[in-house]
Amino acid sequence: MIYFDTSATTPLLPEVRDRMIELMNRSVAGELGNPSSLHTPGSRAKFELIRAREQVAQLIEARPLELIFTSGGSESNNTVVRTFENCPIFVSAIEHPSVLAPAEAFGKPCIKIPVDKQGIINLGFFKTNLEKLVKENPKQKILVSVQLANNEVGTIEPVKEIANIIKNIKQETKAKIYLHTDATQAVGKIPVSAKDLGVDYLTFTSHKLGGPVGIAALYVKTGAPMKPLIFGGAQENKRRAGTSNVLLASGFGVACEIAKDAIENYGKVKNVRDYLINEIKNKIETTIIITPQKSLPNVLNVSFPAAEGESTQLYLDLENIAVSTGSACASGDLEPSHVIMAMYHDAEIAHGSVRFSLGLNTSKQDIDELMTKLPNIVAKIQDLSTLNKETQNANK
């Protein structure tokens, strides 16, 4: 299988697997207990948890105590949004559903910041509407949540500029404005520093880095408000109840250590991605390149007009090539990607979108193999689509 879907999840790294097996063997032997327990097995487990938290924190240049381990990016994002329930919440129009859905449900109001065809948010719209809200109610808490890099098209958002706008407004008005960024796709692909970005909250997850599924991190800047989503025990410094998963945390920690050293290698990934762009443009003339220049180095989203993305995906899967699509099936209806609709306002472009997300091991040979199949598949689907349209017109 040639795997072009690392934005969905990455293969487990061998070093992560080995570390987790080591801890499982120690657990079987009774050496590791509940990290909240005071006995020796509990203390050993607590030591492993502390070490993992330090490894994860180093990747985003944060302090370990500012990190909360959660079950995934969705829980982290929901925790931040629910902290600001019944408050105004700004989100980009292309946010991940785990931010967008709770913001729409609990924001009063939820204000969507429009984007251009590059997927970049309209900073003028944001600044004007934020100033207006602050003027109307200067004591109201406000959350701004804009992802650092988009999961479908790879667009990198100007989060530092957003932080500066917020900083200036706060200096003038003493408003209570807080900034969250979902950095799930960005961490490990580009340098990410929570302090340098100027954010109050930051989300990222293990399985996008070659770590295990089922654990993520939420950075909460010291002094930022935070309401637990899960109540019960005193774990995670009373911010997230539930027995700490030492096994997953340790795997996450190893993945973060490796990711920290591997970021520079994404320059090579970008070269392979750019090679793919040129191959597709040269061999499939109707292609619309959706991913902008200012994007993650490993993501390419394209649209093949008159060729449904799901059909392209399924045909490629039959050829042992895994890709993703910009569309989603919801409740039996084919819904176009909200991301691409916000960028292009064109359902045909959205329905024809396909995402290729590359990893450190993706080679030009993989691209060459893909291109022996992809042009014929797209042409076949487009021919069928044209035939269907002609039949429909003839029956009118």
Q: Do residues 301 and 326 touch, judged by C-beta distance below 8 A?
A: yes
The residue type found at 261 is: D
Is 256 tagged catalytic? Answer: no
Q: Using CA atoms, how far apart are residues 343 and 119, in angstroms rounded to an integer?
A: 6
Pairing of strands 2-3, 321-322: parallel
DSSP state of 263: G
Q: Using CA atoms, how far apart are residues 97 and 173, in angstroms rounded to an integer?
A: 32
SS3 144: strand
Q: Do residues 146 and 122 touch, judged by C-beta distance below 8 A?
A: no
Q: Do residues 244 and 36 touch, judged by C-beta distance below 8 A?
A: yes
- In order of 29, 213, 288, the CA distances from 125 in angstroms are 59, 37, 27
Asked whether the CA dihedral 355, 360, 204, 134 is positive or negative, the reply is negative
The residue type found at 37 is: S
| Nearest by Cα to 354 from 324, 386, 374 | 324
SS3 138: coil
Rg of the chain's alpha carbons, rounded to an integer?
A: 23
Strand order in the sheet with 176-182: 67-70, 216-220, 201-205, 176-182, 141-145, 89-92, 110-113
Q: Using CA atoms, how far apart are residues 57 and 218, in angstroms rounded to an integer?
A: 10
Spot the catalytic one: 87, 110, 256, 329. Answer: 329
Q: Do residues 31 and 229 touch, judged by C-beta distance below 8 A?
A: no
Catalytic residues: 329
